[in-house]
Amino acid sequence: DAGITQSPRHKVTETGTPVTLRCHQTENHRYMYWYRQDPGHGLRLIHYSYGVKDTDKGEVSDGYSVSRSKTEDFLLTLESATSSQTSVYFCAITDSGGKKETQYFGPGTRLLVL
């Protein structure tokens, strides 16, 4: 258990509405990631963070922004949700010890944009 929680776990929203998803970790990991997972596309990286206020884009960052003002929290914001952003969103961290690229995932957020 890597001590990762995500909130909300489920959300239904309407097109054009802003949405913020939260990832919280309790073990002071430096690297955090946001993925979306869709049938036929697998896990795709949206944004990642390598420290407080240090973030970078992944392969599918359009329409998403992130913020990390504290080590333990990594927020993903959909500025104006679209139906194409209906997906399952996973947060992940990289284990600071051991094999450094090993990632551990939160339980996921299921987002439906109507």
Partner 1 sequence: RKEVEQDPGPFNVPEGATVAFNCTYSNSASQSFFWYRQDCRKEPKLLMSVYSSGNEDGRFTAQLNRASQYISLLIRDSKLSDSATYLCGLNAGNNRKLIWGLGTSLAVNP
CA-CA distance, 66 to 99, in Å (whole number)? 26
> Do β-strands 73-78 and 87-94 pair in parallel, antiparallel, or remain unpaired?
unpaired
- Binding of partner 1 by 100 (CB under 8 A): yes
How large is the C-alpha radius of gyration of the chain? 13
Q: Which residues pair with 35 in a beta bridge?
A: 45, 90
Q: Which one of 77, 86, 108, 112 is in contact with partner 1 (CB under 8 A)? A: 108
> Measured from the CB atom, is 19 or 36 closer to partner 1?
36
Q: Which one of 19, 21, 25, 31 is in contact with partner 1 (CB under 8 A)? A: 31
Question: Which residue in this structure is represented by tokens 């309790």?
Answer: 26
Backbone angles phi, psi at 85, to 5 degrees: -95, 5
Binding mask 39-78 for partner 1 (x = CB under 8 A): -xxxxxx--x-x-------x--------------------
Sole window of 10-18, 20-28, 74-82, 100-108 interacting with partner 1 (rule: CB under 8 A): 100-108
SS3 label, residue 84: helix
Q: Which parts of this chain interact with partner 1 (CB under 8 A)?
A: 31, 33, 40-45, 48, 50, 58, 90, 94, 99-108
